[in-house]
Chain A
Amino acid sequence: MSAATETAAPPAAGTKTDAVIDVENVTHLFKAHRALDGVSFRVSPHSLHGFVGPNGAGKTTSLKLICTLLKPQTGRIRVFGHDVRDEVKAIRRRIGYMPDHFSMYRQMTVFEYLDFFGAAYGFSLKERNRIVADVLALTDMDGRKDDLIQGLSRGMQQRVSLARVLVNDPDLLLLDEPASGLDPRARIELMEILRELKRMGKTIFISSHILSELAELCDSVTIIDRGKTKYSGPMEHLLHREAEHPTYRLRLDVPIDDFDQTLAAMPGVIEVVPAEGKPEYRVSIDATATDHSALLRNVLDAGASIMVFQKDQRHLNEAFMDLTERGVRQ
Chain B
Amino acid sequence: MIARTLALLHRALRVDARMLRTHLFRAALVGIVIFALSDAQNSWAGAPGLEFFSWLQFYNFWFITFAGATFFPTCVTEEKEELTLGLLKLAGVNPLSLLLGKWTPRLLGAVLLLSVQFPFMLLAITLGGVLMHQAVASYCALAAHLLLVGAIGLFASVVCRKSTGACLLAGTLLAGLILGPYIAIGVAEVLANAGILSDSTAALIAAACGWVLNTSAILRIDAIMATGFNESPLSPQVIANLVVSVALFAASWALFGPCTRNELASVAAGGGWWSRLIRVGRGRPWSMAIPWKEFSLTCGGAPVIVLKGVAYAALIAAITTYSALAMYGYSNPDLSEMLAAIMLTTMLVVLFVEAAVIAARIYRSEIRDQTWPGLILLPRTLPETAYAKLAGSLLTLAPATALLLTGFIIEPEYLEEFLEHVIFDEAILGFGYFMCQIVLFLHLTTLLSILWTWAAWPVSIFFAGFIVIMGNALVGSCCTLSGPVDDEAIFFVGSVCSSVLIVIVHLWIGQQLSRLAAA
Residues of A within 8 A of B (CB): 64, 67-70, 88-90, 92-93, 95, 97, 99, 101-108, 112, 115-122, 124-125, 128, 148, 150-151, 164
Q: Is the CB of B269 within 8 A of A93?
A: no
Residues of chain A within 8 A of B289, CB atoms compared:
116-117, 119-120
Shortest B292–chain A CB gap in Å is 7
Q: Is the CB of A119 within 8 A of B268?
A: no
Q: Report the Cα distance A252→B272, complex, angstroms.
A: 65
Q: Is the CB of A107 within 8 A of B271?
A: yes
Q: Is the CB of B370 within 8 A of A101?
A: yes
Q: Report the Cα distance A116→B284, complex, angstroms.
A: 8
Q: Is the CB of B377 within 8 A of A69?
A: yes
Shortest A28–chain B CB gap in Å is 11
Given B287, B297, B370, which contacts A119 in the complex, CB threshold below 8 Å? B287
Residues of chain B within 8 A of A68, CB atoms compared:
377
Given that A119-B289, A120-B289 are contacting pairs, would A69 and B373 also be in contact in the complex, using a CB cutoff of 8 Å?
yes
Interface status of B305 (Cβ within 8 A of chain A):
no
Q: Report the Cα distance A182→B370, complex, angstroms.
A: 20
Q: Is the CB of A107 within 8 A of B297?
A: yes
Given B268, B278, B380, B518, which contacts A69 in the complex, CB threshold below 8 Å? B518
Q: How many residues of B contact A (CB 8 A)?
A: 32
Shortest B462–chain A CB gap in Å is 27
Given that A103-B373, A115-B284, A116-B292 are contacting pairs, would A150 and B518 also be in contact in the complex, using a CB cutoff of 8 Å?
no
Residues of chain A within 8 A of B374, CB atoms compared:
99, 103-104, 117, 164
Q: Is the CB of B373 within 8 A of A150?
A: no
Q: Is the CB of A92 within 8 A of B270?
A: no
Residues of chain A within 8 A of B373, CB atoms compared:
69, 97, 99, 103
Query: 8 additional contacts, CB 8 Å, given A92-B378, A99-B373?
Result: A64-B518, A88-B381, A92-B377, A97-B373, A103-B370, A104-B369, A124-B287, A150-B268
Q: Is the CB of A116 within 8 A of B379?
A: no
Given A103, A104, A119, which contacts B292 in the complex, CB threshold below 8 Å? A119
Q: Is the CB of A89 within 8 A of B380?
A: yes
Shortest B453–chain A CB gap in Å is 15
Residues of B within 8 A of A (CB): 268-271, 275, 278-279, 282, 284-287, 289-290, 292-293, 297, 369-381, 517-518
Q: Is the CB of A112 within 8 A of B378?
A: no
Q: Report the Cα distance A199→B289, complex, angstroms.
A: 31
Given that A116-B293, A120-B289, A125-B284 are contacting pairs, would A107 and B275 also be in contact in the complex, using a CB cutoff of 8 Å?
yes
Q: Is the CB of B371 within 8 A of A121?
A: no
Q: Report the Cα distance A115→B279, complex, angstroms.
A: 15
Q: Is the CB of B369 within 8 A of A106?
A: yes
Q: Is the CB of A150 within 8 A of B270?
A: yes
Q: Report the Cα distance A183→B293, complex, angstroms.
A: 32
Q: Is the CB of A121 within 8 A of B378?
A: yes
Given that A68-B377, A69-B373, A99-B373 are contacting pairs, would A148 and B275 also be in contact in the complex, using a CB cutoff of 8 Å?
yes
Q: Report the Cα distance A88→B514, complex, angstroms.
A: 13
Q: Report the Cα distance A104→B293, complex, angstroms.
A: 12
Residues of chain B within 8 A of A88, CB atoms compared:
381
Residues of chain B within 8 A of A120, CB atoms compared:
285, 289-290, 375, 378
Given that A125-B284, A150-B268, A150-B270 are contacting pairs, would A105 and B377 also be in contact in the complex, using a CB cutoff of 8 Å?
no
Q: Report the Cα distance A68→B378, complex, angstroms.
A: 11
Residue of B nearest to A115 (CB): B285
7 A-B contacts, Cβ less than 8 Å apart?
A95-B377, A97-B377, A103-B373, A107-B278, A117-B374, A118-B285, A148-B275
Residue of B nearest to A161 (CB): B374
Q: Report the Cα distance A266→B376, complex, angstroms.
A: 65
Residue of A nearest to B285 (CB): A119
Given that A92-B377, A121-B378 are contacting pairs, would A105 and B293 also be in contact in the complex, using a CB cutoff of 8 Å?
yes
Residues of chain A within 8 A of B370, CB atoms compared:
99, 101-103
Given A92, A99, A151, A164, which contacts B379 in the complex, CB threshold below 8 Å? A92
Q: Is the CB of B517 within 8 A of A69?
A: yes
Residues of chain A within 8 A of B517, CB atoms compared:
69
Residue of B nearest to A107 (CB): B275
Nearest 8 A/B pairs, CB to CB: A119-B289, A119-B285, A120-B289, A103-B370, A92-B379, A69-B518, A93-B379, A70-B518
Residue of B nearest to A93 (CB): B379
Given that A116-B289, A120-B289 are contacting pairs, would A67 and B377 also be in contact in the complex, using a CB cutoff of 8 Å?
yes
Q: Report the Cα distance A67→B373, complex, angstroms.
A: 10
Shortest A158–chain B CB gap in Å is 14
Residues of chain B within 8 A of A122, CB atoms compared:
287
Shortest A73–chain B CB gap in Å is 13
Q: Is the CB of B270 within 8 A of A106?
A: yes
Q: Is the CB of B284 within 8 A of A150?
A: no
Residue of A nearest to B290 (CB): A120
Q: Report the Cα distance A93→B297, complex, angstroms.
A: 25
Residues of chain B within 8 A of A119, CB atoms compared:
284-287, 289, 292
Q: Report the Cα distance A301→B500, complex, angstroms.
A: 92
Given B268, B271, B372, B379, which contacts A121 in the complex, CB threshold below 8 Å? B379
Q: Report the Cα distance A325→B229, complex, angstroms.
A: 76
Residue of A nearest to B384 (CB): A89
Q: Report the Cα distance A117→B378, complex, angstroms.
A: 9
Shortest A123–chain B CB gap in Å is 9
Residue of A nearest to B372 (CB): A103
Q: Report the Cα distance A64→B514, complex, angstroms.
A: 12
Q: Report the Cα distance A97→B271, complex, angstroms.
A: 28
Q: Is the CB of A69 within 8 A of B369?
A: no
Q: Report the Cα distance A44→B53, complex, angstroms.
A: 75
Which among A115, A116, A122, A124 has the highest number of chain B CB atoms within 10 Å?
A116
